[in-house]
Structure 1
Amino acid sequence: METKNKKGQVEIIGLAILVVILVVILVIALNFNFKTTDNKSDLRKSLVANNLLNALIKQQGNVNIRELINDCYIEKRRNVNNGLGCLNLKKELNNVFSTILINRDYFIKLRTEELEFFSEGNCDKGIESTTYRFKEEGILFIANLRIC
């Protein structure tokens, strides 16, 4: 009778160990699964930020954003604070972002290698685009967009 009890106890201990191992594997799998979905969401937002910035700077319609950026830069470099270049750029960017990014905040920063001349928006933490570089009238401009 004693050997049956010992055999039963060994089986119960083995079963308990198996259950613990399965629970640990399940916790690790769930943790990994949740992390990958967050990364996919961040990747999508990053792609949206990159594509939006790319389209914004490359578009040529009634208003050319590149020309507005250049006008704003020239004003800031010459210390003209009441000029229309930066005001027109701000107005046009607000129109574009309010249409595309409905109920989402953004922050855009424009600079050259020497001077940060324009920043607009209210997004401290978010998904940021890669740095976008382009030339306009021989000047290298650097742009970053962050979407919350």
Structure 2
Amino acid sequence: METLAHYLSIIIMSAFKFELGPFMALKEGLSVYESIILCFTGMMAMVILLAYGGSYIKEKFKSRPKKKKRKIFTKKNRLIVKIWRKDGIKGVAFLTPILFGPPLGMIIILTLGADKRQIIKYMFISAVMWSAVINITLFYFSTYIHAL
């Protein structure tokens, strides 16, 4: 039961802030393979949840009264538009785990209007790649850090 709680905590952490999942897994003493699978699972759970529940959430946000006007042209918004124009859904999906986080990356992609199948496909590729890269790098270098 305790192992399940550790697994769920890593999945939830990866669903919201992808980069922190591998650090939690390392701290919990999990293997690199377990960590890769759990981080991937967390990100894809958030992606699927927002891909299919995103339209409902979007409608709820639209129906809320607006408190004050927000700036449209911020540095972050300019960066997002630049990435979207240059690379489209592939670019945003590639940067989502390390730059935006799964929820914000999904909101960006859904707001800019992409097909759900394409979203899931590119987010799947991104999750597999970044999960492997971050976890293998962290677990490999952690042995050197502990040796110091």
Query: Does the alignment reach a TM-score above 0.5?
Result: no
Q: Which of structures 1 and 2 has the bigger CA Rg?
A: 1
TM-score, normalised relative to structure 1: 0.25
Higher relative contact order (CA 8 A, sep 6+): 2
TM score, norm. by length of structure 2: 0.25
Report the structure, 1 or 2, having the larger helix content. 2
